[in-house]
């Protein structure tokens, strides 16, 4: 292969510097998906079904009283299964019915009240299984993160241009990477919430902040 001459480099039309820029913006979540369930054990399948239906109806009504719309309450699964004795005969000793719903909370300030209301309405059969915190409209934060990502890329490119003894020109190619990531915050089951609710103290919920990030690849021309 022939060596590249200096004069060839001076006139090469594709001379460029390619860098990756990163931008991050932290904002508090403004929505939550709350997972609640009812678990009932009884001697017969019919009894388990009836008890679970009554508890879930009370739970849903209580959640609606916290100004949650029908469209924001969704059943995720309903399961009925036998409970077997732990002996050699392995006979059926009863039945368990589980019914799980997800509540989409548009006002994140109501999460604590909804948890407390659901537990009071359902009692010992209620399980608080998880909370997913998120950002309903991340576009404003993404716009800020893009600005930071591009500025970061430009700063890197300027440094490389200075080190290489060339002059940085305009961007000739830009490609964007990923945006906001959801945060999953697991929550305790009802057995751990019982003392708090019984004492009439609200369930503490710390929403923290969620990071919106953008990665951008930029190719700058050089002179």
Same domain, 147 and 198: no
Kindly give the confidence (pLDDT) of every residue in the chain, 223 residues in length, as a single tens digit, with 9 standing for 90 and above. 344 444 544 544 469 999 999 999 999 999 999 999 999 999 999 999 999 999 999 999 999 999 999 999 999 999 999 999 888 788 999 999 999 999 999 999 999 999 999 999 999 999 999 999 988 888 999 999 999 999 999 999 999 999 999 999 999 999 998 654 544 444 444 344 443 444 467 888 888 898 999 999 999 999 9
| Cα distance between the two ends of the chain | 26
Same domain, 158 and 94: no
The reported pTM is: 0.73
Residue 4 lies in a domain: no
| Per-residue pLDDT, 200 | 62
Region of residue 175 (phi > 0: left; psi between -120 and 50: alpha; otherwise: beta): beta
Residue 2 lies in a domain: no
Same domain, 117 and 51: yes
| Per-residue pLDDT, 2 | 43
Same domain, 61 and 125: yes
| Per-residue pLDDT, 61 | 97
Q: Are 102 and 31 in contact (CB under 8 A)?
A: no
Residue 123 lies in a domain: yes
| Per-residue pLDDT, 171 | 96
Residue 171 lies in a domain: yes
Q: Which domain holds residue 23?
A: 12-27+139-179+215-222
Same domain, 43 and 89: yes
Same domain, 111 and 189: yes
Same domain, 102 and 129: yes
Same domain, 115 and 68: yes
3-state secondary structure of 163: helix
Residue 1 lies in a domain: no
């Amino acid at each position: 292969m022939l060596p590249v001459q200096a004069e060839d480099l001076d006139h090469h039309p594709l001379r460029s510097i390619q860098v990756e820029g990163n931008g991050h913006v932290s904002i508090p979540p403004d929505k939550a998906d709350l997972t609640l369930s009812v678990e009932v054990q009884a001697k017969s399948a019919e009894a388990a079904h009836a008890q679970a239906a009554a508890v879930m109806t009370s739970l849903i009504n209580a959640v609606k009283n916290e100004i949650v719309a029908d469209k924001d309450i969704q059943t995720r699964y309903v399961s009925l299964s036998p409970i077997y004795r732990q002996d050699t005969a392995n006979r059926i000793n009863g039945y368990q019915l589980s019914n799980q719903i997800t509540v989409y909370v548009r006002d994140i300030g109501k999460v604590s009240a909804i948890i407390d209301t659901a537990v009071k309405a359902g009692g010992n059969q209620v399980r608080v299984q998880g909370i997913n915190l998120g950002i309903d409209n991340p576009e404003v934060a993404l716009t800020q993160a893009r600005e930071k990502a591009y500025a970061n890329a430009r700063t890197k490119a300027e440094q490389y241009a200075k080190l290489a003894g060339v002059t940085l020109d305009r961007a000739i190619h830009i490609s964007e990477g990923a945006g906001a990531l959801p945060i999953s915050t697991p929550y305790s089951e009802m057995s751990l919430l019982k003392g708090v609710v019984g004492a009439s103290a609200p369930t503490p919920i710390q929403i923290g902040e969620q990071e919106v990030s953008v990665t951008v690849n930029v190719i700058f021309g050089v002179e």
